[in-house]
Structure 1
């Protein structure tokens, strides 16, 4: 089979899995506090990554590299807590649409902190993405709620996490980076999880276990997609997340269809694809480490 088709199929599976993660968290509807839910998702995920962690037993990172892993774990723990909170109070499609901004923020951050050039295509994408975000949020026309603020903050925090990943990806493999992220994020989530801990129902335990499982599978399938085909081929498929999220929100959670969310999310996703295409034309390699999903 053509490798581009293989990559596209793997990315389609990835979008289904990641929307599945979003839907399972939304299904809990705040039954489990956000810090506790985030901790359990990453703790279970760490257990699922035990083989990778065992293979890292001989891995002795130098102090500077270890500090980067620790810092990323701290930053990511804040981001996932904000994401779990937003997901518990916001429509599935809106969370997905706002989440697309992370890719644009990474482009901005790379120019500021990694000294990458701000090419015209990046600036154009940033400006149009801002327009897309305003269409989704519609400030002045509706009240911007806490969930939306939390999700916007999460995208900024995840940007920092991804930029650190981009730096360490020059020294370690993707599997090592994911394993270390899971481990340190779990550690940093412990204090807030203990503080907010609530007794868990069997339903919550099963849902969070399933969430961790499909999130881990999503990382694997996304890596396979990126390895099989260029990002310029697979990245546009990410738009399907917004399609699946809208369907799930409408038919499973009876959420009202919001055309502004779809329009704004579409504009942002087009900008993401445009940046990916231009970077590909410039001959830059886009790695899976820079595009790891939050969940």
Structure 2
């Protein structure tokens, strides 16, 4: 039985997931400053691993079905790429702040479009290539490499966006034969296995209040993914994906008022160009999918 389609509900669910993920990033920054990035990411993936194991145990076929993958090596690569991307992004939150990190990271849909050809064999037309180039001009405006001393940290969220784009493309590739539940299971387990020795090596005492924030971080991660999954279940991805950009203004408010970050004038200008290019790319993808379905 298919889920009834409700685009309006899907939009609100996507905006809600963006708000949850923005709050999660704020908590991640606080905990990384209070302790260290590797310990925070490790505990987060421990919770993630337990969560996916419980889901798999309740699903038809149980844990055995969840472990069966047609692409085991690629699933491992997905998990490693994601956990490395999360570590880099949290490091960027501490070094650059939430606002500038997200302003650069939002270019990942453009990277997905650019890499969809070599990774998935999809055709990228000249209009989308032009949008990709315009989007990268926006990234350069944000980074502002010509103003004084350029910080290498400014490249960290871009590398993180590149890794997240690869993670998304590999997820689409394994979806040709693996169910979403299988990919979800492998992501959680691989991330926990990779991070455990690193996190234990960097383990340090955490204050009781920070343990409460840690619990909030873990629960918000599960809630954010649940809201996103529900959004995609009730509406077409191409119709609601643009609303994921709401995460940028929400996280900017958190950065300004909770972490006393500053907003350089070039950041919103560059971010607006990147978002516009990303929305155009999503629109062209939707047009192409309709042409393919109709022809």
TM-score by length of 1: 0.89
Residue 291 of structure 1 aligns with which residue? none
Residue 192 of structure 1 aligns with which residue? 198
Q: Is the 8 A contact 1:44 1:209 kept in 2?
A: no
Matched, 1:234 2:240: yes
Residue 21 of structure 2 aligns with which residue? 18
Q: CA offset at residue 29 of structure 1?
A: 5.0
Matched, 1:269 2:272: no
Residue 250 of structure 2 aligns with which residue? 244
Matched, 1:33 2:36: yes
Partners of 2:45 and 2:70 in 1: CA distance:
24
Q: How many residues are treated as equivalent by the alignment?
A: 285
TM-score by length of 2: 0.89
Residue 293 of structure 1 aligns with which residue? none
Partners of 1:276 and 1:237 in 2: CA distance:
11
Residue 81 of structure 1 aligns with which residue? 87
Q: Is the 8 A contact 2:70 2:178 kept in 1?
A: no
Q: Is the 8 A contact 1:132 1:264 kept in 2?
A: yes
Residue 290 of structure 1 aligns with which residue? none
Which stretches of structure 1, 4 residues or more, deviate above 3 A after TM superposition?
60-64
Partners of 1:14 and 1:239 in 2: CA distance:
11
Q: CA offset at residue 115 of structure 1?
A: 1.7
**Structure ID, larger Rg:** 2
Please list the CA deviations of residues 40-65 of structure 1 after superposition, one character each: whole Å capped at 9, or x if unmatched. 11111222333223234131756752
Partners of 2:69 and 2:241 in 1: CA distance:
35
Pick the aligned partner of 2:137 from 128, 131, 142: 131
Q: CA offset at residue 142 of structure 1?
A: 4.2
Please list the CA deviations of residues 83-103 of structure 1 after superposition, one character each: whole Å capped at 9, or x if unmatched. 121112222121211111222
Q: Is the 8 A contact 2:110 2:278 kept in 1?
A: yes
Q: Summarize the Cα distance change of 1:179–1:62 in structure 2 as closer, same or farther, 3 Å threshold.
A: closer
Partners of 1:136 and 1:81 in 2: CA distance:
22
Pick the aligned partner of 1:52 from 55, 63, 66: 55
Q: Tell which deviates more after alignment, 269-278 or 61-70.
A: 61-70
Q: Summarize the Cα distance change of 1:264–1:47 in structure 2 as closer, same or farther, 3 Å threshold.
A: same
The RMSD of aligned alpha carbons is 2.2
Q: CA offset at residue 156 of structure 1?
A: 1.7
